[in-house]
Structures are given as C-alpha cells and as structure tokens.
Structure 1
Amino acid sequence: MAERILEVNDLHVSFDIDAGEVQAVRGVDFYLDKGETLAIVGESGSGKSVTTKALTKLFQGDVGRIKKGKINFLGEDLVEKPESELIKLRGKDISMIFQDPMTSLNPTMQIGKQVMEPLMKHRGYNKSQAKKRALEILNMVGLPNAKERFKAYPHQFSGGQRQRIVIATALACEPKVLIADEPTTALDVTMQAQILDLMKELQKKIDTSIIFITHDLGVVANIADRVAVMYGGQMVETGDVDEIFYDPQHPYTWGLLSSMPDLETGTDTELVAIPGTPPDLLHPPKGDAFAARSQYALGIDFKEAPPWFQVSPTHFVKSWLLDERSPKVQPPELVVRRQREMPNKFEHAERVERVAFNEG
C-alpha cells in the first residue's frame, strides 16, 4: 500500500475584501501518496491555486484565511502550525514552482546564489557545499553551461532556461511535495514538452510527490496519475487519469474535454466552449455550482448540492445525474468520440515514456 504523504479534509478558504467574504475554496478533500502526481484542473477562478497555497498558508497579507478544515502532512496538521514553523517547511518539505519564471526569480541576484539560498537556509550548507550542490542540480535540470553561467542573472536566459532554474531552486532541498502551478503556461509548445519530460524524470530521481495545477487537459494526460476536477471552489470529480479521460461523469468534465483541441482528429473537429461564466464566490450559488451553465441540470441541482457518488474504487463524482432516480443521459458526441480515440494514444504515450525512462 502506498504511503500517504498529504491528506486534506473539508478545506474552506476565504478572502475578506471590501465587498465582503469571497469563499474561494469550499469543502475540498483530496490526498497525495508518495511518488505520485495529482493534477488539479479547472478554469481560472476555480480555486486550484488557492487550494495549494493554503497548504502552507502562502497568502499575501492578512486577506486570505483558512476558515475550516485539516491539512495532514506526515501526521501533523499544518492548519494549526504557526507562521514560524511554516517558514521552515516552505522550500524544504513543500516547495512550489510558479507560472512565470521571470517573476519567480530575483532579477538582481545571480542564478547560482538563488539555487544556493534554500540549501544554506534549510540544510545548513556552507557556501562551498551549497555551490557544489547547486551546480549538480543545475546540471541535473539540463541548464546548458551551468558552471560558466553560474554568476549570470535571470534576464540573460531564455524562458525555458529560466523555468529550469526555478525547478532547480524548488528541488534543491529534495522536497517531499512539489507544487507546480501552471509551470508551462508561459512557454511555447516545444519547451512545454521538454519541461514536462524533465519533471517526470526528476520526480523519479528525487522521489517526490507532485501536485500539478493546470487548465490544460492535454498536459494532464502526459504527466498525471490521478486527476481532481475543480469548479466554483469545489472538487466535482476525481479519479485516475484513465477514468477522467475515458469515462468522465460530470457535465463540467465533459465541457472541459469538449473544449480541448486535438491535432490528431483533424482541423474539422468542432470545439465547444462552456457557456456562461464561473459563479460569483462572494455569493456562492445554492445547490450545484455548475447548474446554471449545464444543459444537463436537473431541478434539484438548483436547490441542493450533490453528494459524492462512487463510480469505482478510485472514481468519485459530485453530480445528481448519478443518482439512481435521475434520468439517464449520454455524454456529448465529442466526449464519446474521444473515448473511442484515446485508448490507443494513451497506450502509445505510456509505452514511449517507459522506454525513454529505461533507456535513460
């Protein structure tokens, strides 16, 4: 049985602003096992980043607060820990890669010193030890001419190289949990693929667990073991990556899959946008938060929030459509078509990844 690294129960996070209380995360539950990658997906504003920042209370100022819930990390509840203890945890046991590498790095500090910093702060390395280890890590993440460019500044590197430096900094102390918040969004497609391959390779080498935040389901297919779909500050569907792609059950997941481009299905493939906009979490809707945007909404969706329905031992869905009293509906044609097309692609992707890893 896999070792449980992290378990989050009934997490509620709010932001107090002039207009009132924004209930950004509402009753979120998830877990992370050793060595696995959990992808959290959803539109902007769904609560993905806030959920992961809550793990170490990484909020700016005093606006954000954990209103309720437990965050069990290796047997300790992080919600109860004071800031002084969380500072020791950040960058050492739980580390983060942010979206834009240029804003993640200090533009006035040499990149070598930035990788050395967590080693000296959290591991107690002296300068000589930290420099030696920093060079090892920069070489490990594939930064060209790391030794010669150790004293260079962030602006002297390309976007992909800067993201490698950010990854090196995040992995310097070999954290038990690595949170990657849209780490490839600012990169071109070719560089995205390289960074994703790098993260999978490094995950094996340092034996870390990854929480990968993204809106791109194509990225999820290539990196995740399990997927949690978020909407309106709540998780609405969770399952292993095959279940979410082959057998999605929530109308919101159907919408995300239908809006995902696929170059292999031809240029005539229609992409369907999800109508409407995400809910206003200053005034969260009653019932199912997605009901107002769903063509499959039932009367009860506007009155009562659905509970979790279990589809398989690993697949859970919050949708009244799974209630035995509900009418049976078919997923959209695009989702059905992808269900027929994806197995071969996934089989090929897994085979390629396995061969590449064994050869490396």
Structure 2
Amino acid sequence: MDKMLEVKDLNISFHTFAGEVQAIRGVSFDLYKGETLAIVGESGSGKSVTTKSIMKLLPESNSEIKKGQILFEGKDLAKLNDRQMQKIRGKDISMIFQDPMTSLNPTMKVGKQIVEPILKHQNLSKSAAKERALDLLRLVGIPQPEARFNQFPHQFSGGMRQRVVIAIALACNPKVLIADEPTTALDVTIQAQILELMKDLQKKIDTSIIFITHDLGVVANVADRVAVMYGGKIVEIGTVDEIFYNPQHPYTWGLLSSMPSLEASEANLYAIPGTPPNLLHPPKGDAFAPRNEFALKIDTEKQPPFFKVSDTHYAATWLLHPDAPKVVPPEAIQVRRRQFPALKEGK
C-alpha cells in the first residue's frame, strides 16, 4: 500500500515559565492510502499535539519541533514555513476540530464558508464553486441544501454544524483528513450519526484519515489500525482487531478494561490508578511504570523498545522480552483474547 504520510522520530517541546515540557518524545508512524488510523489515549498523552504539528498549527511563540520528520509527497512539513503550508492546508491536508461552534465563523453564511476554500485552492468559477458546495452539503447529509446554504451557523443544530465543518474539510478533496475528536462536543445519539457519516464517507472518497479519540468504543467502529499513545510516545500499534482482541501493553489493557460493557457491573468497572507523567521531568524508564501493576524493575531504569508481535502489531513493553516473566493479564483482556479469530486458529 502507498504511504500518504510518514512521521519519523518526532520530538516536540513547549517552552513554559515552569520549564521545557517534552510533549512528544520520539513518535513514529505511517499513514497508508485509503486507511483510517486511530490515535487513542488519555487527555494529555500527545494525540492532538502530534496531529496539529502535521498541520503546522502549534503556536510558534512557545512550541518547537526539536527533532524528526513529517514527510508528505516528498516534502518535510516540519521544515516548511507558514506561507508554504498555506498551499497544503485545506487543499491536501484538512482538519475537523472538536467543537463545530468554534470552527465556524458566526457572522458568515455557511455556504460562503464552504465556498471560500474551493475558490482559494481550486480553479473554479463562483457558480461552479457554489454547485460543489451544494454537492458537499448533500454528501454530508444536510437536507434542503439550497435553503441551508444561505443560513448562519446558529440556525443549525450541533450535529448539523459538525456536518458543515466536515463539508468544509472535504471541500478540496484532501488526500489526508485529520479528525480531532470530532464527536466529543456532541450528545451520544448525534455522535453515532457523525460516526456513521465518517464510515460512509470513507467508502465514497479516496481519503486517508487520522482519527483522534479517547473513546475506544468509537475506534472499533471507524478504524483500520490503532496507535495507542501515553506520555508523549506511541506504546502500541496494530490493526483494530489486534489492539482490541490481542493487546500487549499494560496501558492498553487498562484502557480496554475500563470500557463499560453490558456484561460489566458498576462495581467491577476498572480504573487505571494514578495520573499521567509530568513531562516537565519525563521519567527515565517506561512512563507508565508507576501506574503499572505488572511493572518490572527494568521499567524504572530503561525505556522499552518496540517488540514485534506480528507483521502489523508492535508494542513497547518489557513484558514481551524473551526473558520477562509470564504475567496473567486482567480477566477482561483474557476474555478478549479468547475472542480473537487469529488466536483461535492458533496463528
């Protein structure tokens, strides 16, 4: 499969009054053509910082890409200036943000907001751009697009506003679409509709998607592959089935065990103890070690490398070292592993 995006050994710091916050520490991943890669993890794990760096949307005043490459069509985006990035943002790489009300201009009609990037990046007349905008409104499921075209954002519901934001992001047929927790600001029913829309769009348009979320239930429905982030690093990456049914990192075990299910009662719902690390002073070893009941002595001394589980599945945990003791994962993970088709077949 063709690689649309390559992130290599990305290191990003924020310079604050308290000192240097090492927000991203050696993140690497690839995004392939036509796939949806989900990036999951707790708040503060580095998901949004990673993807905003791809768009060069981090504040120049206090952020710094200290090391690494972000390769897109032979260009290193990390080295481009703002003027060069303006030719890529919206045209080749687009972003859907969390809150549609802050993404839309309340003083502009929604039709004009969709037409604007089309006129900027595509060689179309105003009438052709309007037709394209109406087609996009239909594509994202907004009824009566001709009437809605001339309305303002406050005349739309939250779910409809998010559909408009998605239409704007798709206006120039981007090759990469970044969705930064696009359902967080919506209620559960509307969330389901937007997720269904994202799945439907994936089939209709030839776009690679990076989907950021802290909700693993969302991931199961939309992703092809999943990268789990913790403490500014990717700790596990694999196909959606591998991450859900054969997870290897204790942090992934914790995230999956804390998901509510119809079988689990409130009394036995798991919660990961402790808090994420302070990245003003990153830990010497595995950042998850203080919260990890399965931590080994080496976890406090040395960061684990990635160990290969399969051709598509890697996890950074010392538990995968050949000399590591065998541990029994939580019951919820054992149940998941018994459901994993590849394990059933003895692969």
TM-score class, shorter-chain normalisation, is over 0.9
3-state DSSP of counterpart to 1:118: helix
Shift of 1:330: 1.2
* 2:44 aligned partner: 45
* 1:357 aligned partner: none
3-state DSSP of counterpart to 1:147: helix
Percent identity over the alignment is 67
Q: Which residue, out of 330, 333, 336, partners 2:331? A: 333
Query: For the residues of structure 2 that align with 1:268 and 1:55, how far apart are their CA atoms?
Result: 40
3-state DSSP of counterpart to 2:165: helix
Residue-by-residue CA offset, 1:35-91 (whole Å, 9 max, x unaligned): 000000000000000000111211134211211001111222111222111111111
Residue-by-residue CA offset, 1:152-208 (whole Å, 9 max, x unaligned): 111111111000000000000010000000001111222111111111211222200
Residue-by-residue CA offset, 1:225-266 (whole Å, 9 max, x unaligned): 000000000000000000001100000000000111123x25
Determine whether 1:162 maps to 2:161.
yes
TM-score when normalising by structure 2: 0.96
* 2:344 aligned partner: none
Shift of 1:141: 0.5
Residue-by-residue CA offset, 1:319-354 (whole Å, 9 max, x unaligned): 0001111110011012212334576xxxxxxxxxxx
3-state DSSP of counterpart to 1:254: helix
3-state DSSP of counterpart to 2:28: strand
Letter matched to residue 116 of structure 1: V
- Structure 1 segment 51-90 matched on structure 2, within 5 A: 51-90=50-89
Residue-by-residue CA offset, 1:72-131 (whole Å, 9 max, x unaligned): 112221112221111111111000000111111111111001111110111133321211
Determine whether 1:106 maps to 2:92.
no
Query: For the residues of structure 1 that align with 2:293 and 2:268, how far apart are their CA atoms?
Result: 18
Residue-by-residue CA offset, 1:298-326 (whole Å, 9 max, x unaligned): 11101100001000001000000011111
Query: For the residues of structure 2 that align with 1:266 and 1:313, how far apart are their CA atoms?
Result: 33
Aligned 8 A contact 2:98 2:180 in 1: yes
Query: For the residues of structure 1 that align with 2:109 and 2:316, how far apart are their CA atoms?
Result: 48
Determine whether 1:289 maps to 2:272.
no
Determine whether 1:276 maps to 2:262.
no
Of stretches 133-142 and 183-192 in structure 1, the one that deviates more from structure 2 is 183-192
Of stretches 287-296 and 127-136 in structure 1, the one that deviates more from structure 2 is 127-136
Determine whether 1:312 maps to 2:297.
no
Query: For the residues of structure 1 that align with 2:42 and 2:124, how far apart are their CA atoms?
Result: 41
Query: For the residues of structure 2 that align with 1:203 and 1:182, how far apart are their CA atoms?
Result: 17
Shift of 1:268: 5.7
Number of matched residues? 341
Aligned 8 A contact 2:245 2:339 in 1: no
Shift of 1:269: 7.0
Shift of 1:223: 0.6
* 1:192 aligned partner: 191
Query: For the residues of structure 1 that align with 2:44 and 2:266, how far apart are their CA atoms?
Result: 30
Letter matched to residue 229 of structure 1: V
Of stretches 267-276 and 192-201 in structure 1, the one that deviates more from structure 2 is 267-276
Query: For the residues of structure 1 that align with 2:37 and 2:280, how far apart are their CA atoms?
Result: 28
* 2:136 aligned partner: 137
Of stretches 104-113 and 196-205 in structure 1, the one that deviates more from structure 2 is 196-205
* 1:349 aligned partner: none
3-state DSSP of counterpart to 1:311: strand
* 1:150 aligned partner: 149
Of stretches 241-250 and 78-87 in structure 1, the one that deviates more from structure 2 is 78-87
Query: For the residues of structure 2 that align with 1:204 and 1:310, how far apart are their CA atoms?
Result: 31
* 1:22 aligned partner: 21
Shift of 1:16: 0.8
Query: For the residues of structure 1 that align with 2:77 and 2:215, how far apart are their CA atoms?
Result: 29
Runs of 4+ in structure 1 deviating by more than 6 angstroms, as ranges, are none
Query: For the residues of structure 1 that align with 2:197 and 2:253, how far apart are their CA atoms?
Result: 30
Unaligned runs of 5+ in 2: 342-347
Query: For the residues of structure 1 that align with 2:193 and 2:125, how far apart are their CA atoms?
Result: 33
Determine whether 1:302 maps to 2:296.
no
Residue-by-residue CA offset, 1:264-310 (whole Å, 9 max, x unaligned): x2546721110000001111111000001100111110110000100
Please provide the CA RMSD for this pair: 1.3
3-state DSSP of counterpart to 2:87: helix
- Structure 1 segment 217-232 matched on structure 2, within 5 A: 217-232=216-231
Query: For the residues of structure 1 that align with 2:158 and 2:90, how far apart are their CA atoms?
Result: 22
Query: For the residues of structure 2 that align with 1:118 and 1:183, how far apart are their CA atoms?
Result: 20
Distance verdict in 2 for CA 1:116–1:273, change over 3 Å: same
3-state DSSP of counterpart to 1:242: helix
TM-score when normalising by structure 1: 0.92
